[in-house]
Structure 1
Amino acid sequence: MSTVSRRPRIPLFFAIGIGLSLLMAVFKAVAAALSEAYLYSVPWLGGFLRSIELVEISNILVFAFLSAGIGAATLLLPRHWNPWAKAALLIVVSPFVFNASYWMQQQLWIQRVAKQANISYEEAHQITDRFLQRDTGSGGFWGFYAYSTEVSELPTNRDSLESQEVSSPGQALVKELKSYNDPRANLAAAVFSRVGWLIRLMYISIAGLTGLIYYVQGRDWAEAKRPDDDDDLPKKSPTKSPLKNSPKNSSVRPRPPT
């Protein structure tokens, strides 16, 4: 297959990969919204399910579909491409897909603040951003990402959000435990301060492992379906040996006429 006929297939690979990424990101965002509306609102049980971020179990399905699809789409790429180059698209889009649910949670939180305080979304966004900046040292999405590892119930009261005191229950508990000057209390404080990150790291590991397994399966399927002559490298023309053009028995000299 010629290089000219293969090149239009490379943009198609990226179109498929980006399309799958957007589809899976929307799926995670919708799953997060439905969980907030129906699952996490269940009395008693809902808070526990939110604390373990149960909706992130969807990463198994999301990254299986995404990685297998991108892996299978490598059939559209030239055979001689480096394996890391073929996997680069999956590596780039994975963080955006993984964090889509947390982005949705932040938007829903801002909407609840706006509704409870009877203010606009923009004003609620500014209030929550200042709160995150004060509480975590970082505003915007990354401030929310860090703060959501410390609490399961996000504050929605405007007075609490505008208070100058650090209001994270997790930080208050850690501070209280450290005040005992006891090694066991210090160990418990260290565990409590990192348990949210450990849960999130677990889901990141699940997503990464699922993505790796299904990407390899999709790529292997693509290589099995690839024709043997499917290569866009220019083929070298066979070189002719000068001996082939020489007459037979050229080493034998003709006898001179007598």
Structure 2
Amino acid sequence: MRLLECVGLTKRWGALAAVDAVDLNVDAGEVVALIGPNGAGKSTVFNLIAGALRKTAGSVTFLGEVVDELSDFDLARRGLSRTYQITSLFPKLTVLENVRLAVQARESTRLNPVPSKTLRATTKIEAEEWIERVSLTEQSWRLAGVLSHGDQRLLEIACALALKPKLLLLDEPTQGMSVEETRSTVRLLKTLLNDSKVAVLLVEHDLEVVFGVADRIVVLEQGRKIADGPPESVRADPAVQRAYLGVAHA
């Protein structure tokens, strides 16, 4: 099943084409990585899909509906969740409270200023389950703002998955992590994604992460798509080698 389809996606600022007629799709259960050198347009594509930027041309279809004019809030209600390069949490709330808010956001009574006792109990139980899945149980009482950078990234992933999205946009999930933290996060991501069956569009600079989790890789260079395929074929693509290394290896 096709979840996301972008056709001719374009974003211009004056004469600069940050994203230039990019076609991109993600199917149910698929993990697609969007990679490219710095300035290739990856984050701009994410922001166009997520409703944070208005496109210049092209279309974005999610679950068979053209969603070009929808806000990021409306997209989230339809099942598209995301994380950010700069961690976006409530720093003065605990780990548990952050995830509970994500769980409660799915409920029809989410705007009630005084949630019922039943809702408080059920959201707490589910939040604790998500916290355990990202190995933060011992940190659940701590304020999000005092967690290590790596643990904040894990908490943000837990919050995004707690929304139970159909498609998750992961923006640089291992940015700023140590080598060991990155490897641990890759192992955790593979388990979480296999268990949740959520489709993922991933932007990531670390190619070890990309080749560790992606089913398919899309490569951008200067705003244009230059490759799209399974990891091994993309790794061997001369155009991709030129983009990253400046030369094509024989």
Q: TM-score, normalised by structure 1?
A: 0.27
Relative contact order higher in (CA < 8 Å, ≥ 6 apart): 1
Looking at secondary structure, tell me which structure has more strand per residue: 2
Looking at secondary structure, tell me which structure has more helix per residue: 1
Q: TM-score, normalised by structure 2?
A: 0.28
Larger Rg: 1
